[in-house]
């Protein structure tokens, strides 16, 4: 196990060290001490390694992640796992605004609550939030799954494309063109798998599914160029 | 961007360290804004005298014998404590009288703050330099707020720096930008409210002052501010015995809070809080949008939500 203490190692050196890991590295377990809310910790990783961040992080932790498994032992600041491509990011605490924004793939698990704009413009990522999410979540979400075991804030799924949203608790309000949809067997199977991978004991049957009504301007073929 | 911080102490034994803790929090936020910085400190002294912090670009000339000339024109005892470009004037008479006397004696002297316990220090420059210049680290107090500015809406000057004094013992710092400040400034000026600069935050501060002069409590003023102010804001406000936080309904300006038995702290980012005692076990959360939070030494704290 490799340990990097941010009290003594600069952020750039830390990230360069992690970037230097390749697909065949035998240094597969990393621990980062004293993150103290620093920005851009473990950003842009592209190797099958496990990184444990022992504390809370600032902006853009685990951004653009590929392959790596990153576990934040505290809470995460704005833009955690932004534009993630693959791999897994697990946050033991809460996540600030726009968690998982624009992410293309991988799994983002937030064990506490997520703030506003969770999964905004998501493009294929799976996000599972054990607690609640804030307003404007999944705004213009294009693809992927957002699972919320608690409640959702205002304007959920506004201007949604093809992403699937599953909420167990209440939804304060739905955004433009977002509607409740029937839960079919394939959705229950999908949910069961996501909940298991996210270590949630919620039952798929307790959720409601929301998606795009496909009524906005851009869904009308006559408006295409 | 801008970086803002606030610290409200519950544990009296921490009071001698307030200036040091608050400056440390603000210095951590330096890279959120390098243009100007300021700190407001509330001390626990109970003198029942009015304290006015004034600023001059030529302090050596302006503050020389200022206490004596003021004492002569006001016919009361005036004390002066000069700190770099600022001076703390203390006098047992009404603020309006002191302000009028100052305007006659030297119209270039600017008022930074007024109140019994409040002192505001602010200048162009980095938080570290501003804190050192005014020896903020050595100040004790019960609560305080701070700001480091990345200017967007108006010039980088001392008067454009935060905190803004909103009334006796009241002040405010702002992260964000107000988009209706020109129309609101015109409206407030028609109501007879004095607004000095082209700065957006000063209009926000003046709006709150005007509301409170018309009978609103600070909480009510902040709530009506949610309707009247258009744009982005996270405000942290200080009053004689308390400290409040409110964010606009969109809440894109960051905010994080921490509470323990010893204090309530606010930071634009978690980084600002990491050196506080017991932060590892503190309750840390993000304040909700369009919700007024308030803590007071009267031992009442509250959070009132308002629909956006």
> What DSSP string runs through A43-98?
-S-BSS-EEEEES-B-TTTTTT-BS-EEEESS-B-TTTTTT--SSEEEESS-B-TT
Report, as an integer, the average pLDDT of A128-153.
98
Peptide linkage before B163 cis (omega within 30 of 0): yes
A142-163 per-position pLDDT tens digit: 999 999 999 999 999 999 999 9
B289:A37 CB<8 A: no
Which of the residues A11, A35, A37 would you substitute to probe the B interface, choosing the one with the greatest number of B C-beta atoms within 10 Å?
Answer: A37
Cβ-based interface (< 8 Å): residues of A facing B: 36-38, 56-59, 75, 77-78, 93-94, 96-97, 115-116, 134-135, 154
A57 → chain B, closest CA residue: B270
Looking at domain A2-212, its CATH architecture is 3 Solenoid (2.160)
Phi and psi at residue B290, in whole multiples of 5°? 50, 40
Tell me, what's the pLDDT at B302? 66
The CB density around residue A131, as the number of other CB atoms within 10 Å, is: 17
**Dihedral sign, CA of A83, A31, A88, B285?**
negative
A154:B271 CB<8 A: no
Which of the residues A53, A58, A91 would you substitute to probe the B interface, choosing the one with the greatest number of B C-beta atoms within 10 Å?
Answer: A58
Taking only the tens of pLDDT, chain B with its 308 residues reads 899 999 999 999 999 999 999 999 999 999 999 999 999 999 988 778 899 999 999 999 999 999 999 999 999 999 999 999 999 999 999 999 999 999 999 999 999 999 999 999 999 999 999 999 999 999 999 999 999 999 988 899 999 999 999 889 999 999 999 999 999 999 999 999 988 889 999 999 999 989 988 998 888 898 999 999 999 999 999 999 888 999 999 999 999 999 999 999 999 999 999 999 999 999 999 999 999 999 988 755 666 655 43
Reported ipTM: the value is 0.92
Report, as an integer, the average pLDDT of A88-98.
98
Asked about B93 being catalytic, the answer comes back as no
Q: Where are the domains of chain A?
A: 2-212
A115:B271 CB<8 A: no
Contacts of B272 in chain A (CB under 8 A): 37
Closest residue to B284, CB basis, from A75, A97, A154: A75
The CB density around residue B302, as the number of other CB atoms within 10 Å, is: 11
For residue A100, the 8-state DSSP code is: T
Tell me, what's the pLDDT at B291? 93
Q: In what order do the strands lie in the sheet with B283-285?
A: B118-124, B36-42, B143-149, B3-9, B263-267, B256-259, B283-285
**Dihedral sign, CA of B59, B64, B66, B67?**
positive
Tell me, what's the pLDDT at B308? 36
B254:A94 CB<8 A: no
Tell me, what's the pLDDT at B46? 77
A37:B286 CB<8 A: no
Phi and psi at residue B23, in whole multiples of 5°? -65, -40
- A–B: how many Cβ contacts below 8 A? 43
Contact predicate A175/A155, CB 8 Å: yes
Tell me, what's the pLDDT at B300? 55
Closest residue to A38, CB basis, from B249, B256, B271: B271
Closest residue to A58, CB basis, from B270, B286, B308: B270
């Amino acid at each position: 196990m490799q340990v990097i203490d941010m009290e003594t190692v600069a952020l750039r050196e830390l990230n360069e060290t992690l970037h230097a890991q390749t697909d065949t590295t035998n240094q597969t377990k990393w621990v980062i001490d004293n993150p103290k809310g620093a920005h851009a910790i473990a950003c842009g990783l592209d190797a099958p390694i496990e990184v444990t961040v022992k504390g809370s992080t600032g902006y853009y932790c685990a951004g653009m992640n590929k392959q790596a498994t990153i576990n934040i032992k505290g809470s995460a600041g704005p833009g955690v796992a932004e534009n993630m491509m693959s791999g897994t990011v697990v946050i033991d605490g809460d996540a600030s605004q726009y968690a998982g924004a624009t992410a293309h793939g991988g799994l983002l698990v937030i064990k506490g609550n997520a703030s506003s704009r969770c999964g905004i413009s998501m493009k294929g990522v799976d996000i599972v939030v054990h607690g609640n999410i804030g307003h404007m979540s999944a705004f213009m979400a294009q693809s992927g799954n957002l699972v919320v075991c608690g409640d959702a804030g205002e304007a959920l799924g506004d201007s949604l494309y093809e992403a699937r949203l599953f909420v167990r608790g209440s939804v304060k309000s739905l955004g433009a063109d977002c509607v409740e949809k029937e839960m079919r067997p394939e959705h229950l199977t999908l949910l069961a798998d996501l909940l298991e991978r996210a270590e949630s004991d919620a039952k798929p049957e307790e959720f409601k599914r929301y998606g795009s009504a496909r009524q906005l301007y851009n869904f009308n073929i006559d408006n295409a160029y | 961007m801008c970086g803002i911080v606030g610290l409200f102490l519950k544990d009296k034994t921490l009071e001698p360290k307030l200036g040091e803790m608050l400056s440390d929090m603000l210095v951590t936020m330096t890279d959120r804004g390098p243009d100007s910085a300021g700190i407001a400190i509330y001390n626990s002294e109970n003198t029942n005298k009015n304290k006015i912090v004034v600023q001059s670009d030529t302090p050596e000339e302006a503050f020389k014998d200022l206490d004596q000339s003021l004492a002569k024109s006001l016919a009361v005892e005036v004390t002066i404590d000069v700190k770099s470009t600022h001076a703390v004037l203390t006098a047992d008479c009404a603020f309006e009288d002191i302000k009028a006397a100052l305007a006659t004696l030297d119209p270039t002297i600017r008022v930074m703050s007024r109140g019994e316990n409040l002192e505001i220090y602010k200048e162009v420059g980095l938080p570290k330099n501003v804190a050192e210049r005014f020896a903020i680290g050595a100040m004790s107090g019960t609560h305080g707020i701070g700001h480091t500015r990345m200017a967007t809406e108006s010039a980088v000057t001392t008067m454009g720096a935060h905190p803004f004094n909103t009334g006796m013992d009241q002040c405010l710092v702002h992260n964000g930008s107000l988009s209706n400040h020109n129309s609101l400034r015109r409206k407030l000026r028609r109501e007879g409210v004095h607004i000095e600069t082209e700065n957006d935050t000063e209009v926000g501060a003046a709006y709150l002052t005007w509301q409170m002069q018309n009978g609103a409590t600070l909480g009510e003023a902040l709530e009506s501010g949610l309707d009247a102010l258009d744009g982005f804001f996270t405000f942290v406000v200080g009053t004689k015995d308390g400290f409040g936080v409110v964010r606009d309904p969109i809440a894109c300006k960051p905010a994080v809070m921490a509470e323990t038995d010893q204090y309530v702290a606010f930071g634009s980012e978690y980084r600002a809080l990491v050196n506080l005692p017991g932060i590892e076990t503190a309750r840390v959360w993000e304040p909700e949008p369009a919700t007024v939070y308030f803590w007071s030494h009267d031992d009442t704290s509250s959070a009132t939500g308002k629909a956006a």
